[in-house]
Structure 1
Amino acid sequence: MGSEKDVWAVGDSYEAYAGRWSRRIAEAFLRWLDVPAGRRWLDVGCGTGALTETVLSVAEPARVVGVDTSAGFLAHARERIGDARAVFRLGDARSLPVPDRGFDAVVSGLALNFVPEPGRAAAEFARVTNPGGVAAAYVWDYAEGMAMMRFFWDAAATLDPAAADLDEGLRFPLCRPEPLARLWTDAGLDEVVVQAIEIPTVFSGFDDYWRPFLGGQGPAPGYVMSLGAEHRDALRELLRERLPSGRDGSIRLTARAWAVRGRPAPATAVGSTARGPEGR
C-alpha cells in the first residue's frame, strides 16, 4: 500500500520511528470500540502487528487475522507475536483474501491513508464485516495533531520548500473527520462515528527524537536519508532549536489520531463469493 514516497518494509526501523506510539493509540482505540470477548477480528494493513498484538492482549479475541502488502512487516509480526490465535496473510486492502461477513470486528490502524483507492478498501471492510459487527479504522492527524511529524515537516519546508510535496499533512486529506465519515457512509456503513484519540509522546532528549528519522522507514525518514550531510545537519539543528525542551532535556509532545467506526447496514448487499478460508 502507498506510493514510492512511503518506504515501509523493515519492521525494526518502523518500530523505532512510529511503532512505539502506535501501540498506545491502539489500546485507546480498542477501549473506544469495546468489542466483547470471543470475537473474530481482521486487522487490515497490520504492518508489524501493533494493533494485532494489542487486540490479543486486551480484547480476548477468538482469532485475529492480519493482512498486509509488506512481506517484511509480516515476517516481523510473525516473529514477535507467538500466539496461536493470530495468523498473518499477504494481501491488499482493496481485495481482501477473506470471505464475506467472516469477522465481527474489521479494523485498521494507521494504514488506510496509504491505500491508493480508500473507497475500495472501505467497501471491502463492509463486505467482510459480520451483521452486528463493527468496521473501524484510525489514522494520524498529520495536518495538525501528530506533533512529532508536524515539527519535522515545518522545519524541512523552511529549508527546502520542495519538501512540502512529501508532507503527509498535505498528501493525505483523508485524515480528517469529515472525509473519514464520508468514506464510511459511502461504503454503506451505518451508525458512523468519528472520534479524536490523543496520547502524550515524550522523548528523553533530542537524540531520542532525531535518531528514528535516520532509519529510512516512512516519508520523513526517507527524506532525511536522501539529503546530503550538510543539509541533513542543518535540518537537525533547526529542529533542535524549535522543539520544546524541558529542564531535564526531555521533549514532550502529543500525537492525535482520528478514529472512525460504523456497522453494516441491514439492507447493504455484499458479494457472495468467498475469497478464502480465513475467518471461518
Structure 2
Amino acid sequence: MGRWSRLVADEFMTWLGCADGGRWLDVGCGTGALTATVTDRCRPRCVVGLERSAGFAVSARAAVPPPARFVVGDALSLPVGDETCDVAVSGLVLNFLPTPGAAVAEAARVVRPGGLVAAYVWDYAEGMAFLRRFWDAAVTVDPSAASLDEGHRFPVCRPDPLRALWTEAGLVDVAVAPIEVSTVFAGFADLWEPFLAGQGPAPGYVAALAPATRGRLRDTLRGALPTRPDGAIALTARAWAIRGRTPVLPGP
C-alpha cells in the first residue's frame, strides 16, 4: 500500500489548493508521506505530524526535514490548543480509528474559524482493484474470509459516510472527490509477495492459511488478474478525499 500513498498525497494537495505560509497539522502521519508533501508543496510556516506509533514518528523525523516536526499523540485527544492551526489533514487513517467522528471533531477544534479540515481514505469497498481481486479470490477459496474484507469492515470508505462525519462535526462548505492513481505491478510476484508479509488484514489472513489453501488462493488470484503480454498487471486504486471549513461566527 505504501508505494501508492505518495501519489495520492500529491493529488490530494492539488485538490486542496492551499496557500503558502500556513500552520498545518497532519493527524496520523505514519512515516510522513503526506507531511512531506505539505512541506514540498505549501511552504508552511510550521507543520506538525502527529503519530500514535513512536516507531513511525522516528521514521518520519528521519525522512522529512524542518520545518516539519513530529510528536507522538492520539488522534482522539490532540495535544494541540483550540484554534491554533490553519489546516488539519489526515491521510489514509480514518478507516482505522475506533471512533472516526471523534477524530474529526478534534481536528475541527484545533483549526481556526474559516480554516480547513481535510482527509482522504482508500475506497476499500470498490476502488482498490488489487485488494478487491484479492478478497474476491479469497472468498472463492474460503467463504469465511468475507468477514475480514476491508470493504465490509471499514464503512467510512465511501462518500456519504465521510460527508456525514464532516457535517456532524459542524464543518461547512463540505466537498468530496475521488482520487484515482494507477497501480501497475511488474508481474504477479510483485503483486503477490506483499501479501506474504504478515502485516495488515490481508497479509495476516494469508499468513494464517495452511500451505495448500494459500496455494489455491494464489492460483485463483493469478487467474483473475488482467495480465499484459509482458506480464505486467495494470490496475487502479481510488481514494475518497473530503474537505470542509470551520464556521466563522458573525461579529457583534
Q: Where on the TM-score scale, by shorter chain, does this alignment land: which range?
A: over 0.9
Pairing of 1:73-112 with structure 2 (within 5 A): 73-81=56-64, 83-112=65-94
CA distance in 2, matches of 1:39, 1:189: 19
2:195 to 187, 194, 213: 213
Cα offset, 1:145, TM superposition: 0.8
Q: Which amino acid aligns with 2:213?
A: H
Aligned to 1:138: 120
Aligned to 1:8: none
Q: Which amino acid aligns with 1:46?
A: C
Matched position secondary structure for 2:155: coil
Aligned to 2:7: 24
Pairing of 1:75-224 with structure 2 (within 5 A): 75-81=58-64, 83-224=65-206
Aligned to 1:4: none
Q: What CA RMSD, in Å, does the superposition of the two structures yield over aligned residues? A: 1.3
Matched position secondary structure for 1:88: strand
CA distance in 1, matches of 2:142, 2:42: 45
Matched position secondary structure for 1:89: strand
Matched position secondary structure for 1:66: strand
Matched position secondary structure for 1:174: helix
Report if the CA contact (8 A) 2:89-2:118 is conserved. yes
CA distance in 2, matches of 1:63, 1:215: 36
Matched position secondary structure for 1:124: helix
Q: Which amino acid aligns with 1:230?
A: A
Cα offset, 1:132, TM superposition: 2.3
Report if the CA contact (8 A) 2:114-2:247 is conserved. no
Q: Does 1:58 align with 2:71?
A: no
Structure scoring higher RCO (CA < 8 A, sep ≥ 6) equals: 1
1:67 to 43, 50, 53: 50
Matched position secondary structure for 2:174: strand
What is the TM-score of this pair, normalised by structure 2? Answer: 0.96
Matched position secondary structure for 2:86: strand
Q: Which aligned runs of 4 or more in structure 1 are off by greater than 2 angstroms?
A: none
Taking a change above 3 Å as real, the CA distance of residues 171 and 239 of structure 1, as seen in their structure-2 partners, is: same
CA distance in 1, matches of 2:217, 2:249: 54
Cα offset, 1:214, TM superposition: 1.5
Aligned to 2:223: 241
Identity score, percent: 60
Pairing of 1:236-275 with structure 2 (within 5 A): 236-267=218-249
CA distance in 2, matches of 1:153, 1:74: 31
Q: Does 1:47 align with 2:60?
A: no
CA distance in 2, matches of 1:61, 1:224: 42
Cα offset, 1:80, TM superposition: 2.1
Structure 2: gaps (5+ residues): none
CA distance in 2, matches of 1:229, 1:54: 41
Cα offset, 1:75, TM superposition: 2.0
Cα offset, 1:267, TM superposition: 3.8
Matched position secondary structure for 2:227: coil
